[in-house]
Chain A
Amino acid sequence: MSTVKLTVNGKAVAVDVEDRTLLVQLLRDHLNLTGTHVGCDTSQCGACVVHMDGKAVKSCTMLAGQADGANVTTIEGIARGDELHPMQAAFRDNHGLQCGYCTPGMIMSAIDIVHRHGGELDEATVRQELEGNICRCTGYHNIVKAVLDAAGRMKVSQAAE
């Protein structure tokens, strides 16, 4: 057992876990943050994507200990109170989901994509960049539309700040 200390969604936490505990297990089973999903458990589907120190990572492919000292943001941590994050709002408005299982990971990856590419996003880039996130319902079409829509909204909201 080890104590892992990290910041999750702005709150400092210390959790006693077995050394073999994955970051996704720490989030879901120890902190009850079940918005982060486990899909394939083989590092391919991206349902477990969270941000660690601002970068989108697969939380099923990290030991909790590797996140010691890190700043982690999950899907629960991106809205401001009742106001959805622009990416969440865009997924809702563009019907970017059906069953919703992949959506938390999609949204966390998509925010990272917009951060990296800023206003230079086009459809081909979004499709390429969503390589590590698998959706079995939508055919991706509305997901791509949502990401492009949100890229515009995030630019506007950044400019307003």
Chain B
Amino acid sequence: MYQTTYHRASSVDEAAALFAKGSEAKFLAGGQTLLPVMKQRLASPSDVIDLGKIKELIGIEVSGDTLTVKAATPHYDVATSDAVKKAIPALAYLASLIGDPAVRYRGTIGGSIANNDPAADYPAALLALGATVKTNKRSIAAEDFFKGLFTTALEDGEIITSVSFPVPQKAGYAKMPHPASRFALTAVFVAQTKSGEIRVAATGASQSGVMRVPAIEAALKTSWSPSAIDGVTISASNLLSDIHGTSEYRANLIKVMAQRAVAAAG
């Protein structure tokens, strides 16, 4: 790792001020992606600003039909939270599948979505549930937040403070994990909102990161059942292809995972 200067911020405002002072600063939340990347010398920030101990960024709240997960809340907390299990059990389940137990103690929802790895779990939940990302400057709809591989709508120095999820009628998540990394080879989140809208998002599949799957949404609108997806054809064009799976394999996985997710949602 190259030299860097570590700062522990005690508030969002202090973190923003420290960022502005650094020449090439980066925010650190759980560090489960940034630190490995720095160790490989693929990133060399002048300053690392730790958001992990900022109290206003940690916690889970339910208010009416909205579940809010603050940005520096670790995956372990989401996976084991009674409030999350009650409001959106599929979200608690998703968090329980990220990485391994040690990673789940440290990694955070804000860090995950800010990084926007094309095979990360959380982006699928945000997109399918129609979540809103709140930052220290504005609110951004999930639709407008994810902009492709490792790219988001965040501006330089902007800090995610929380993610708000509308509590759905029902939702389910199914993932084919890569056997070593536990990232999604392909995973699908399905949701039926309280107003009856059906939203389906796939991660790990597309060359441009997390995406909606309109063909499956249309099929589920006709009938909310795994068999409704039987006749859907998913195009393999623009899907990822690597040594772990071809784009055709991933196209099929989108269908299979969507069926399992619907079955799980009930």
Contact = CB atoms under 8 A, between A and B. Distances in A.
B101 A61 contact: no
A101 B3 CA distance: 29
Contact of B102 (A41, A46, A63, A68): A46
Given A56-B105, A131-B182, A132-B103, A61 B6 contact: no
B50 A65 contact: yes
Contacts of A56: 101-102, 105
A118 B232 CA distance: 45
Contacts, number: 81
A16 interface: no
Nearest to A113: B101
A19 B48 CA distance: 9
B39 A66 contact: no
Given A131-B182, A132-B99, A62 B31 contact: yes
Contacts of B8: 65-66, 68
Interface in A64-98: 65-66, 68
Contacts of A113: 101
A138 interface: no
Nearest to B3: A20
Interface residues of B, number: 29
Contact-size category for A: 20 to 34
Contact of A66 (B5, B31, B103): B31
B150 interface: no
B36 A46 contact: no
Nearest to A112: B101
Contacts of A49: 102
A62 B35 contact: yes
A133 to B, nearest CB: 8
A18 B182 CA distance: 32
A109 B102 CA distance: 8
A109 B8 CA distance: 27
B31 A57 contact: no
A112 to B, nearest CB: 7
Given A19-B6, A42-B36, A63-B35, A57 B102 contact: yes
B226 interface: no
A55 to B, nearest CB: 5
Nearest to B39: A41
A20 B105 contact: no
A18 B3 contact: yes
Nearest to A133: B100
Q: Which of A18, A22, A46, A66 has most B Cβ within 10 Å?
A: A66
A61 B35 contact: yes
A46 B8 CA distance: 26
Contacts of B76: 55
B32 interface: yes
A76 to B, nearest CB: 19
B100 A131 contact: yes
Contacts of B103: 43, 58, 61, 132
Question: Which 7 A/B pairs are nearest by Cβ-Cβ distance?
Answer: A132-B100, A19-B6, A131-B100, A65-B6, A55-B105, A20-B1, A58-B102
5 contacts: A19-B3, A46-B102, A63-B31, A66-B31, A132-B102
Given A42-B40, A43-B36, 20 more contacts: A2-B6, A19-B48, A20-B1, A20-B2, A20-B3, A20-B4, A22-B39, A55-B105, A57-B106, A58-B102, A62-B31, A63-B35, A66-B6, A66-B28, A109-B101, A109-B102, A113-B101, A132-B99, A132-B100, A132-B101
